[in-house]
A and B are shown apart, each in its own frame.
Chain A
Amino acid sequence: MLRERIQASNYSFLDKLRSIDYLLILLIIAIGSISVFAIYSTEGGKFSFYTKNHIIRLSVFFSLFFVLSFVRVSTWYKNAYLFYIVGLILLITVLFFGISASGATRWINLYFLNLQPSELMKIAVIICFARYYHRIQSSDIQSYKFLIQPIFLLIIPCYLVIQQPDLGTSILIAGSGIAIIWLAGLNIKYFVYSGLLLLVSLPFAISILKPYQKSRILTFFNPDRDPLGAGYQIIQSKIAIGSGGFFGKGYLKGTQSYLEFLPEKHTDFIFTLFSEEFGFLGSIILLFLYVLLIYRIINVGLVSRSFFAKLYCFGFATAIFLYVFVNIAMVLGMLPIVGAPLPIMSYGGSSLLSIMLGLSIVMSCKIYNQEQISVY
């Protein structure tokens, strides 16, 4: 393995700087700035706690992203399983020492940050799977022997996260994992069969859900079932977005948010606030920025030589897509409220950290895109 890395050492620092994807950085900065304005608005136009924290986190994590971008992609490859194991240990730690808020135990107190390991696990699963499938011959992919392992690797963190309970993150972790299995080339029939199985077992699955999760799903199908309780968030969110119209109500003029009709407006419902104030036009522009971001990440995968980098970038792009889609579809009332933050936009350290971490790996793929990684 050491031999393969020698090639990369030929890069001068200038070369590395030159091969950075500046458009990607620009997009991160753009979405980051929008998020600062949006969070400033959630506080009714006052520069206080959330805005300050968000700016600090953005700048710290952006710096971290920039520094980590220069870590060799082979280093990421080498430590992929370690990453996964650390994530798993943290998840188990949460189970015993986690701190609780509003009925869920999801965080570990790290003093400077309440870390949410399930957010890190989103990235860990992708990187772990990318490494796993990097090694496997295309002829072996279809064999059960090689299918069982990733399924276990996926089920363990998902189960731990559901226990917290956090259905949304768990689904997102599963989604990213499955995406990589798909990318690796597993036969379509497996996806079709498991899809059918899921559909059949859905009633059973719902029956073992926690009551609040059940009510959220039932409410999704009929928000007016309980307009002041479980349906309240969906209804208020739709009202906010709908009343924004084409141009929006104007910055800092979102009545739904500043009159506190919107729940969790600085985290999961940040898009609602943005959409209320900037309307259809703003929403489409923001959506377009995310599309561009995903496109740039895919592009990095396309120009990368190694399967690891390809699988990681495509997987991470799909993960970003899933986060964005689940979040927006949720606030638009197209999916049940499951608790999924909008990447970069939402206030929340762990989510931002994991996204930045993921992006830094993407960037390292870009910088070291010619690096070969041995399959052995």
Chain B
Amino acid sequence: MLELAHITKTYNGSGGETVYALNDVSLRCERGSFVVIVGSNGSGKSTLMNIIAGSDTPDTGNITVGGKKLLSMPEHRRAATIGRVFQNPFQGTIADMTVMENLALAYCCGRGFTFKPALTRQLREEIRERVAGIGIGLEDRLTQSMSSLSGGQRQALTMLMATWRKPRLLLLDEHTAALDPRSADLVLNLTGRIVAERGLTVLMVTHSMQHAVLFGERLIMMHHGQIVYDIRDGEKRRARPSELIARFEELRRADRMDESVAGLLRAQYH
């Protein structure tokens, strides 16, 4: 389904040195798999998401989704293939349009923004039904402006919008990190439900080790632009948050070691 081959992305560090945001990353995900990605800040997980979605371009490498080459397509042409939910709950919806209008835009995704009337009676019915399906009473607020809703409510609607037509791949970029715990639970439950109901292929980045062990059947840990840890199925089911945190600590210790060695070397050469 999703295949990343040797993706590398570099940028210039403050001292003019080359920094690898992604260093020769390859990854294969099967259809219908739910892959969780964890990693510290700057480990490259967000860059990876941006490159798949098309808001960033890699230096080298190749990406295919369902056999379709992605890199030659601009971001908006990938949208029919890839659904995306951002960390910022205000980024995925349009604040000063109504809930109904937002969902009508989601309906147009993949169908084209043509001169046809946007909100037909049939579509209004469909929207009402599917919003009611979320189960948080938003079907009574369809004509209200999106800006009148809370972050959690908006993120729930973004989930619905990103999956309105079944995307081949769903990218969840820390999509509950900016929400209060109750809203985060709500959005995560909804995520699980939608993904299961529709059999979606998902890449989910998260900072929460609890969520990382609860969701998905495969877990990937990134560090310094590389995949350092990749477990699935039985091993993934047995994983505990404490183990993951221990792994992080280990990586961090190794980093500190590197730094102190570098410091020693610098001291000798200056």
Do the two chains belong together in a single complex?
no
Q: Which residues of B contact A (CB under 8 A)?
A: none
